[in-house]
Structure 1
Amino acid sequence: MSKLPQTPTLPAEHEPTSAAEIIQTLAAGEPTGDGEPTELSIGEVAPGKFFFPEDTGLLNRDVPVPSSGADRWRDRVMGVKPESAVVVVPPRTQPQPEPITPEAERAQLYNRALQSLTEKYNKPLWRPTLTLSQGSELLEYIIGMELARENRTISEEDVDMDIMFNLLLYFWGHEKCPYDLTRGIYLYGEAGVGKTFVFDCFATLLREIAPPAEQMRVIPTEDMMDEVSVKKSFAALTPYKFGLLTMDDLGREERVAQAYSERRDGFAHLLTFRYRQFVQNRLKTHFTSNLLPKQLESPEHYGTVLGDRFKQWTQCIHYQGRSKRNKSTLHHG
């Protein structure tokens, strides 16, 4: 209940005639004996017997003045809903997430990087559905039949069966393989010891048991450069940019390229492209060669940059044996 400000009392001989004067008189109240104004509440009877209705809104400026009938008809025509019918729904506030801490941010970044690198470098290796024993029997059968074409038999002198078995473990993705399963093979040795024969046998085996993406081609590097010479375009090397490939007799291509320096650059571009595929997609490339690994970095062959890359994307295996060129007209590396 609030006290209204004191308003000077009208003279006794002056009787309020207008509504404004009546309201002003009621608002002021009758003075008490101590000079304080009489407290007046809305809806009470003033000492002067005047009743002050509570719904007039004249004392409370916050109370809306009732609209007239004309106002209500105008609102209906204009489609304005009365305030009492308007339901105001307060906006739903979404809970604000807690600010991420530096430790949590570092943990998220680490987990994302670890997952991405795991998918990149630990791609599941294809493994044959055949057992290792079955694969060994098939490989031995292939070796025997290929040698029978030359009237030869399997022996330690002709075929290094230890390396053949280790390579079988390698192509099987076996955990006991002594070689790095993620890098290619650089098989080097003297001319005629059977390096090409080794990869020809595995290429035959993979054609029979592996899906197309895991099958291997064995292509002499000299034949690659012959195609460039015939087609007069480096586009001839495009088919050798992808897929599992063995570049046979690495170094022999220089016979074709030495008269045309730009062709040598084209072969170097192919090597560089496949090296990048190894780094990005783990695409493996195998090689056979008469060149020692240390010779690859010499300026006469592939230079320091390319020569050093051979160490990164391949592992060197020395294949020894007595040359059998004089026993056969077939070329076996």
Structure 2
Amino acid sequence: MALPQTPSMAPPTPTDKELSFPQEPLIDLRHSDEEIKRGLGIPDEETQKAYNDAHRKALERLSSKGSFFKPVDESKLTEKGKADRQRVAEANRTPTQLEAILSRLDQTIKVNYRQQVLSFEIASVVVEKIYGLELSRKNKASWFTDEQREVLDNVIKYFIGDPQCPYALHKGLFVYGGYGPGKTFLFRAMQTLCKIAPIPDMQFDEVSTKTFVTAWKNHKESKDKKNDPVIKYSRNHLLLDDLGEEKQVIISYTNAENPIDELLSERYIAFDRFGQVTHVTSNLGQGDSETALEDQLVHLYGSRILDRFNDMFEVILLPGDSKRG
């Protein structure tokens, strides 16, 4: 039995027949350039010129006829058709770079433009009803004087955004006066109005200065980084009740600190950057003048408060004797 042959690793042996190549070139070089171009379908100069002239004349005929699209006659459109065209135009329009930047700027810096949301007549009736119900619940009679009525009317105009209001609508209200004429009661009536009307942009939180200082002290002593009352009450609109009744200076780790001054600093930042207003009631200023009030504020919180004070507040004296009891 013959064993299978192992393939040879030697290069193949050339055959006796030599490889042959065509002796003639693939392209007949005996033809002229014109014949070669014609064979390849390339037009000569005269044919190309005739084609160019025909193309130019065709374009001229098209341009002389104007656009294929006829303008839409707006007068014949229905209201829905007009609205659809406006919506499509706005959707397809690409804003310019400047418009895009200005749009982002509007989103970054909020301007507190207030619009009147309720007529003064309606708001007055609602507030009188609120006062009546609250006084009846406490078994008290109405006690408005003419001066107090003027303050109440102006505060109503402020909260509903009435342009006739004598107070700056972007500031908070600092209402001061003697003990018991109804400063806190006034704000709580406005708080109820804002909830039931409703006027959501003017709703506010409330904290008394004594409650805040207690929370501040507990937070410092607990070393709890969460639940910082300064952060909590630096958000949203806020009523700071009974300013001046709290303990002003707290000794914290041998450092004398003023919690209300710290809070007012944060409230000023919230007002300046985001338009968050602070309302205040206070029994300070017993001299019935803004000068007496400012003197007491500087004495309690330092001269720095006056700069913030003028920016943040409309100062309102609520006259009258105490109605408590």
TM bin (shorter chain)? 0.5 to 0.7
Seen in structure 2, the aligned counterparts of structure 1 residues 137 and 150 have a Cα distance that, compared at 3 Å, is: same
2:188 maps to 1:195: no
Question: Which of 236, 244, 248 does residue 243 from structure 1 map onto?
Answer: 236
Q: What is the CA distance between 1:196 and its match in structure 2?
A: 0.9
TM-score by length of 1: 0.58
> What is the rounded CA distance, in whole Å, between the counterparts of 1:283 and 1:115 in structure 2?
21
Q: What is the CA distance between 1:264 and its match in structure 2?
A: 3.7
**Residues 203, 218 of structure 1: 8 Å contact kept:** no
Seen in structure 2, the aligned counterparts of structure 1 residues 225 and 270 have a Cα distance that, compared at 3 Å, is: same
> What is the rounded CA distance, in whole Å, between the counterparts of 1:239 and 1:54 in structure 2?
95
Percentage of identical aligned residues: 29
Seen in structure 2, the aligned counterparts of structure 1 residues 155 and 167 have a Cα distance that, compared at 3 Å, is: same
**Residues 173, 278 of structure 2: 8 Å contact kept:** yes
- Give the AA of the match of 2:323: K
**Residues 297, 308 of structure 1: 8 Å contact kept:** no
**Residues 168, 314 of structure 2: 8 Å contact kept:** yes
**Residues 251, 257 of structure 2: 8 Å contact kept:** no
From the two aligned structures, give the one with the greater helix fraction. 2
Matches within 5 A, 1:1-333: 116=105, 120=109, 122-125=111-114, 127-128=116-117, 130-157=118-145, 160-210=148-198, 212-231=200-219, 232=221, 235-254=228-247, 257-258=249-250, 260=252, 264-292=257-285, 293-295=293-295, 297-298=297-298, 300-325=299-324, 328=325
Once superposed, what is the RMSD of the aligned Cα atoms?
3.7
Seen in structure 2, the aligned counterparts of structure 1 residues 143 and 158 have a Cα distance that, compared at 3 Å, is: farther
Seen in structure 2, the aligned counterparts of structure 1 residues 302 and 117 have a Cα distance that, compared at 3 Å, is: farther
- Give the AA of the match of 1:279: D
Partner-residue secondary structure (3-state), 2:238: strand
Unpaired runs of 5+ residues, structure 2, are 1-30, 34-39, 43-96, 286-292
**Residues 217, 245 of structure 1: 8 Å contact kept:** yes
- Give the AA of the match of 2:279: H
Seen in structure 2, the aligned counterparts of structure 1 residues 262 and 160 have a Cα distance that, compared at 3 Å, is: farther
> What is the rounded CA distance, in whole Å, between the counterparts of 1:220 and 1:158 in structure 2?
28
Across the two proteins, how many residue pairs are aligned to each other? 228
